[in-house]
Each structure stands twice: as structure tokens, then as C-alpha cells.
Amino acid sequence: KSAIDMACWDLLGKQTGRPVCDLLGGRHGEKIELYRAISQRAADDMAQNVAGYRDEGYRKIQLKVGGNPADDIQRIRAAADVLQSGETLVADANTGWKVGDAARVVNAVGDVDVYIEQPCLSYEHCLATRQRTSLPFILDETIDSLDVLLKAHHDRAMDAINLKISKVGGLSKARLIRDVCVALQIPMTIEDSWGGDIITAAIAHLAHSTPEPMRFSSTDFNSYNTVSNATGAPQRENGCMVASEEPGLGIVPNFDALGAPLAVYDRRSR
């Protein structure tokens, strides 16, 4: 569903001669700030990764936590200790903590400058954790529709969200949720569940069409991959990327990399 919707926006842009970000709301700012994710490992190793990604221009770092609470507390503190002015740290549990474990972690790092992201699997357990801490909160996996977003806003369940294009059904629905977030002053990390060059291009266009104050961060998934599935996709530079100014998404799919289609439809298909 999301891929078809994305292709329709690409076709509309190419038909009208306009980049998708213009069609989604207009280009805001010169570049899109990215975050870099650090996978779970020893606390000291994760802290060293922060310095390495700083050298690549990243100013927003996402720590993957959600494991043993005692280890996660050490990971958060070690990374926070090496942060510099202007840098942002997010501890992303990816639903990995039980509510009691989440309470242990947020209480133990209450004096640290860190965002807590999606600590538990259910919305209710995330809300319970939110109510136990003054740390800023991000919801991710539970934000899968406009209804959930509005409920979370009403409950004061978060300070920012992760808006994932495919999770909400494509660019069209993501644009609607984005516009509501802008109206409600909810900052967003604009990304997707995963992807390569094509997804990164779509992310860039949605992010670049979002007012800068509402962009918490974004993701260049193609920099995590070793295989390219399109040409013309955004490439990171000093921790940032920009949406193409070419019509549509500004990319040409590499069908050799994508492989044979699962199905082909044309006007004669029934």
C-alpha cells in the first residue's frame, strides 16, 4: 500500500515537472538534519561511537537500549558523559522494557539530558512510564494512525513522535499526520521502518516539506545499506541530506537490484 502510494506521488511529480516535496507542502530550509543509531553493545563502546559519528557531522544520536535495565542505565550515562553542546541523545528501547524495567531506567537517569523513546510495547505502559518521569518522551511504534496521535496528544503522552511512512499507510496519510503535528506543535522524526535509496528519497521529500521547527530529525537509510536500489537518491553530507530538486522523487529505480517483480499489472489486467 505504501509503495503504491509513493509511486503515485513520484508519477504526479514527473507529470507536473515538480519535486514531490513541493507537492507535499513546499521546501523548508536548506537541509535536513539526520540522526545516527548506535546498536546495543558495551557502554564504553557505544560512547566511543558517539565521538565517531560526531566526526561525520551527526548531532543527534539514538542509542538502542531495551535490554537489561542495569546495562541500559550504564549505556545512557556513558553516552551522555561524552555529549557536547548542541548534541541530542535519544535512548530508544524499541518496546523492549517491561513497565517495571522502564520505571527503573527512567528513575536512574532522571538527571541525564536524554529523550526516552518507546520504552514499552503497549501505549498504556508507555503512558504509565511517561507519568513517572520528567524526561522528554518520544512515541514510535504505537503511532500508527491519526486517531492514536490525537489520543496521545490529549493524554500528554509524548513530546515528539516518530512518523514512519509505511506504518501509517504511505506518503498521503503521513502528510496528513504531519500537518496535524505541525498544527499541534508536535516535533517529528520523519523516517520509515526500514529501506534503501527509494525509501530515503521519500523520507527526504516529506521531511523537506515540513517546517524546520517541527523536524526533530530524520534518517538516511541508504547509508546503512551496501546495495543501491536506485540512482539519484539523497546522500548524507556532514550529518544532513537534501531532497532532490528533480521532478517526482528524483530517482531512477535499479530494477536489476530489485529483482523480478512479483506481479505485473497493466490496463489489460483483470
Active-site residue numbers? 64, 164
The strand pair at 240-241 and 32-33 is best described as antiparallel
Asked if residues 153 and 186 have their Cβ atoms less than 8 Å apart, the reply is yes
Asked if residues 117 and 162 have their Cβ atoms less than 8 Å apart, the reply is yes
Residues 6+ apart with CB under 8 A from 153: 184, 186
**Burial of residue 192 (number of CB atoms within 10 Å: 0-12, 13-18, 19+):** buried
Q: CA 18 from chain center: how many Å?
A: 25
Q: How far apart are CA 93 and CA 53, in angstroms?
A: 20
Say how many CA atoms lie within 13 Å of 162 toward its Cβ: 25
At residue 158, the 3 state secondary structure works out as coil
Residues 6+ apart with CB under 8 A from 192: 164, 165, 166, 167, 199, 202, 203, 219, 221
At residue 64, the 3 state secondary structure works out as strand
